[in-house]
Amino acid sequence: AQSVTQPDIHITVSEGASLELRCNYSYGATPYLFWYVQSPGQGLQLLLKYFSGDTLVQGIKGFEAEFKRSQSSFNLRKPSVHWSDAAEYFCAVGAGTNAGKSTFGDGTTLTVKP
Amino acid sequence: GAGVSQSPRYKVAKRGQDVALRCDPISGHVSLFWYQQALGQGPEFLTYFQNEAQLDKSGLPSDRFFAERPEGSVSTLKIQRTQQEDSAVYLCASSLGGTGLNEQFFGPGTRLTVL
């Protein structure tokens, strides 16, 4: 069965600092990987996704993520965090043509200090 | 509409009551998903529709949970004889295509509290 681990429950960074949120997955074949952001009272919004090809994917709001098969990781990065990035971030893995049935991690809450 | 909408946004039910949660997907979207998100956890898959066909209901936690999408657009998630463990946010998502590889657009969720 597929699974996702987000080791960091809560991360605090200063505005303007760089950010990396960790995601490790378990899946037997090539995974379909996603990062979502959830702000209070808002629905989940897709930041970026990886299906195949270039292992470094660019997303919205200046985020990027790198797929590393050898480490079973798909970490999310941003070079300079803005106060508006404070939110909860979820990594998810989907399986093949049924990728809609995604398995989510438990999320990482990001706090941004002024 | 501009996005996925869900109603009600908040629902308080007494244990044993039946509830119905509504999802209006983006017009023309083929696929519709329901997820359950408990406090402090990520969303967990409940069920998936392609048009009016329920293709996967493996995530429904018990036979008290029932979902339908009779005309391939609006969907309703019904929970019968609610229990305290049903308290969660119920998320609906829709996507344009039918393969699941398309981006899912999520609604704001319905927060269900069972007393």
Q: Omega into B8 within 30° of 0, i.e. cis?
A: yes
- Higher confidence at residue A104 or residue A28? A104
Average pLDDT, chain A: 91
Helix intervals (H) in B7-114: none
- Give residue B53's Cα distance to chain centre: 15
Average pLDDT over residues A72-80: 97
For residue B95, list its beta bridge partners: B31
From chain B, the residues in CB contact with A99 under 8 A are 99-101
| H-helix or E-strand spanning residue A66 | strand A64-68
Nearest to B56 among A42, A92, A101 (CB): A101
Please give the pLDDT value at position A4: 94
Q: What is the pLDDT of residues A31-40, one digit of tens each?
A: 889 999 999 8
Q: What is the DSSP letter of A62?
A: G
What angle is formed at CA B94 by the lines to CA B88 and CA B100, rounded to 5 degrees?
A: 105
Query: Considering only CA atoms, which of A108, A102, A89, A79 is closest in space to residue A33?
Result: A102
Q: Which of A90, A99, A104 sits opposite B101 (nearest CB)?
A: A99
| Percent of chain B with pLDDT strictly greater than 70 | 96
Angle at A69 between CA A92 and CA B35, to 5 degrees: 10
pLDDT, residue A98, reads 54
pLDDT at B104: 86
Q: Kindly indicate the confidence band of residue B101, based on its pLDDT and cuts at 50, 70 and 90.
A: low
Torsional sign, CA A51, B48, A43, B113: negative
Residue A21 has pLDDT above 70, yes or no: yes
What mean pLDDT is predicted for residues A5-25? 97
DSSP class of B25: P
Question: Which residues are CB-neighbours of B91 under 8 A, at least 6 positions away?
Answer: A43, A44, B6, B34, B35, B36, B37, B43, B106, B107, B109
* Identity at A93, one-letter amino acid code: V
In the predicted model, is pLDDT for residue B1 greater than 90? no
Interchain proximity A43–B107, CB inside 8 Å? yes
Q: What is the pLDDT of residues B38-89, one digit of tens each?
A: 998 999 999 999 999 999 999 999 999 999 999 999 999 999 999 999 999 9
For residue B6, pLDDT beyond 90:
yes
Q: Do A100 and B3 make contact, defined as CB atoms within 8 angstroms?
A: no
**Helix (H) or strand (E) run with residue A50 in it:** strand A45-50
Handedness of CA B20, B25, B30, B33 (dihedral sign): negative
CB–CB contact B40 A106 (8 Å)? yes
DSSP codes joined into one string, A55-98: SEEE-GGG-EEEEEGGGTEEEEEESS--GGG-EEEEEEEEETTE
CB contact under 8 A, B42 and A4: yes
DSSP B57: -
Between B95 and A96, the more confident residue is: B95
